[in-house]
Structure 1
């Protein structure tokens, strides 16, 4: 069965690139263009992995991750990748405190992200 991933990213071009790349790797992708839609998806769907952009409208990736970890639903313990242009040490510390599994600084290579996704989703690259 295909692993399911939620991508929450407000930049349409990057969201499209991530979706295309990960679908080519065999993943089933749901998309959210802001933090509120991401929370709705997490509330009603079930995912193997969540990819959140740090800076999104409605709720930041950190806010979504904090909510996810405290909400206690079926996705509460799933791995979360936070994509961010904010790469200072304090940002990393805040991400860890929020429950982020992996912090990926922008710009990043799609190959690098795909390797991280395979590892966190518990799959070998195809």
Structure 2
């Protein structure tokens, strides 16, 4: 199996060099693009397994890069993004997740923590597709909503729904436990495991993105319902 290829879009060449050495020593392929436009071209030339994206770039906003990345043919929903945010500004994190980032990491950070997050994101993409054993699993169907856990696709009335790998995993956790109220901690534990903790209220941002993808009216959801003061529940009702 070839080593996962990582692309870091970051204008700080010193930081990129340090991160690159650490990740390459950990068994990853690595390249750095110092500008957003160049990073997007690199994605088109060679689809990476994961993008590490700085929010502040000299030529364009990192959020714009993330939005354009999600729109590139072949990259939408397939390339996970870990966004680097300065000083861990909460609003930057929320906006980044809304733009389609799978995870975020505030600067300054330890390369070891970045590596842990990379491994977690890539593992989330690989393990659900394989499942607990070699047997395929039937799609989850709720009226016009269909969730194919093996193909990792979601459709509503046959229309593909775009979401990040992390959002797909969150949806599966809820759908597999339809009718059961889950706390935020229970949901994040099921998705992330114990390696990483849930951060702030990022799960609420992801739930908003999932609703936009699958609900006819995201402001008045019928599938993913908020249980105030507790968490979320996936409603069993049919269309």
TM over 0.5: yes
Q: How many aligned residue pairs are there?
A: 122
Shift of 1:74: 2.2
Equivalents in 1 of 2:68, 2:19: separation in Å? Answer: 24
Cα-to-partner distance string for 1:71-108 (whole Å, 9 max, x where unaligned): 3x222221100112152322122101110111100011
Equivalents in 2 of 1:45, 1:97: separation in Å? Answer: 25
Moved over 4 A (4+): none
Provide the residue aligned with 2:38 in structure 1: 37
Provide the residue aligned with 1:88 in structure 2: 89
Shift of 1:65: 0.6
Cα-to-partner distance string for 1:40-77 (whole Å, 9 max, x where unaligned): 11122111100011101112221111111123x22222
Cα-to-partner distance string for 1:2-30 (whole Å, 9 max, x where unaligned): 10110111001100011101100111112
**Structure 1 length-normalised TM:** 0.90
Equivalents in 2 of 1:74, 1:21: separation in Å? Answer: 28
Contact 2:69 2:76 in 1 (8 A): yes
| Gap regions ≥5 residues in structure 2 | 127-239
Q: Structure 1 residue 76 and structure 2 residue 80: aligned?
A: no
Equivalents in 1 of 2:80, 2:87: separation in Å? Answer: 20
The structure with more radius of gyration: 2
* Cα RMSD, aligned residues only: 1.4
User: Greater relative contact order (Cα 8 A, min sep 6): structure 1 or 2?
Assistant: 1
Bigger share in helix: 1
